Amino acid sequence: MLAKDLVAASARPLILSVLAEGESYGYALARRVRELSAEQIDWADGMLYPVLRRLEGESLIASEWREEENGRERRYYKLTMDGRRALKAEKAQWLVVHNTLSQLWKLQPASI
């Protein structure tokens, strides 16, 4: 299981990256991350939303309420142009960490 600090630090690039695949909503976002990490990244799902608010405050993502078939409203998030730029910067930084550790651990470095 991932340490709490690391979960908090990685929430931002993870959310931006999932939204880079296409627009999504809170529950689907959390499920996608949980599945991809083989349940190793276990968010308290409620914590996802404050991060989404923060990202929206920075105009990195935008949201829209849409009515579903069952009559309930669901809030969809999508990446903005600023968000794409921010993701690029995040990616570069995380890859620096990844590549450094990979070399130390004699793993195959990731390509950018």
Partner 1 sequence: METPTRFDLDHAVTTWRRQLTAQPGLTPADVAELEMHLREAFAELHRGGLREAEAFLLARHRVGPPALIAEEFAKAEPMRYWRHCLVWAAGGALFANLWQSTLNAWTQTAGELFLNNLPGEIPAPWSWLLAVGLYLLFFGLPLFVLAKWVLRSRLFASVGHPSRWRLAAAGLLLIASVEGLQWWAVQLLNRSTQAGTQEVVTAAMGSDLGYSKGPLMTMLSGLHAGIDTGYGVAQTVQFFLNALWPFCLLALLVWLLPRRESATNTVVT
Binding site for partner 1 (CB under 8 A): 25-27, 30-31, 44-47, 49-51, 53-54, 56-57, 62-65, 72-76, 78, 80
Helix/strand/coil (H/E/C) assignment for every residue in 4-17: HHHHHHHHHHHHHH
Classify 94 as helix, strand or coil.
helix
Identify the sign of the CA torsion 43, 12, 94, 97.
negative
Residue 17's CB is within 10 A of a number of other CB atoms, namely 18
Question: Rounded to the nearest whole angstrom, what is the least distance from the CB of residue 87 to partner 1 in the complex?
Answer: 16
Question: Rounded to the nearest whole angstrom, what is the least distance from the CB of residue 74 to partner 1 in the complex?
Answer: 6
47 or 92, CB closer to partner 1?
47
37 or 80, CB closer to partner 1?
80
